[in-house]
Amino acid sequence: MKTTFGSHTTKVKQLADMIEQDILMGRYEANASLPSINQLSATYQVSRDTVFKAFADLRERKLIDSTPGKGYYVTNRQEKIFLLLDEYSPFKNTLYNSFIRKLGRKYKVDLWFHQYNEHIFNTILHEAIGRYNYYVVMNFDNEKFSPLLNKINPSRLLLLDFGKFDKKNYSFICQNFDTAFYQALVQLHDSLARYRKIVFLYPHDSKHPYSSIDSLQEYCRNYHMHCEVVQDESECLVEKGVAYIVIRQTDVVDIIKQSRQQGLKPGKDFGLIAYNDTPAYQVIDEGITALSIDWKQMGSLAARFITEGSPIQVFLPTEVHLRKSV
């Protein structure tokens, strides 16, 4: 078999990657002997020294080991999981911890973040394809689907969070930023009706789906409420009689600071609704009302997709955690 090696990295690493992929895909079972150095040297047309160094690399990865008389063999390996999230946040930490606990020690999870950057997303994903047993991916955009994802076996890929695109036969656990947001506002209507205006703080660089603005405007039309979208955080000034819907936790903190400086109290002088619940919202100023999916449930369901190998396609409901801030 003629193997073509690229120039982007050493032959040793490329050979080690090839053997690792064979192990991950089940060509070599746990405790099974690997072909000898001489056999692999002939198969891949590389020197014995290259094979030896590739074996050393694989031992460092804890994929193989060797004993006198048996040669090199596959260890009782862990299943390797590729987890790509958008960015760190307290609620993503909740997802991650739930995911890890449900998986147990049989699985090794490599965690990456793409920061909503399409280039970083594709670069990380390109390097990962073929090296993991399962791929759990939080997309970089709510409506745009990376063609690279088509290179992954659908039974091995799970999409999280964003999902307003053609998901074909892929498994997914997503949230709905449109109708579910609208329904949450309807659920809060008795509280919101106390205020003369709703301000949606939607920073111009926010990655939160813009369609949520359409849902807010639809709610306000149907329920005869006045609303305003503010994209510059510095222009969002706390006023009496106004209810604020805020996406970022840092902006929630800024509004609380402003209100304290002015002697205004959330739930009495103005309303405050945060997006994505965190433990801090339960205790700040007697509680901040939050709209959120159950991130712990998302992590648990993602782990079940891997441990049970069953397809899943679900949109998690947006829950209203009603507290005294509205």
| DSSP track, 227-266 | EEEE--GGG----TTEEEEE--HHHHHHHHHHHHHHT--B
Are 274 and 232 in contact by the 8 Å Cβ rule? The answer is no
Question: What is the separation of C-alpha 10 from the centre of its chain, rounded to a whole number of angstroms?
Answer: 32
Stretch 3-22: mean pLDDT, rounded?
A: 85
Give percent above pLDDT 70 in the chain.
Answer: 98
Maximal C-alpha separation, the chain: 82
What's the confidence (pLDDT) of residue 145? 82
Residue 207 predicted with pLDDT over 60: yes
Q: 17: domain CATH number?
A: 1.10.10.10
What does the pLDDT look like over 66-115, one tens digit per residue? 877 778 988 866 788 999 999 998 899 999 999 999 998 788 999 999 99
Asked if 125 and 214 sit in the same domain, the reply is no
Does residue 223 lie within any of the structural domains? yes
Stretch 245-268: mean pLDDT, rounded?
A: 95
Q: 183: domain CATH number?
A: 3.40.50.2300
Does residue 34 lie within any of the structural domains? yes
Asked if 92 and 185 sit in the same domain, the reply is no
> Shortest CA distance to 26 belongs to which of 74, 82, 81?
74
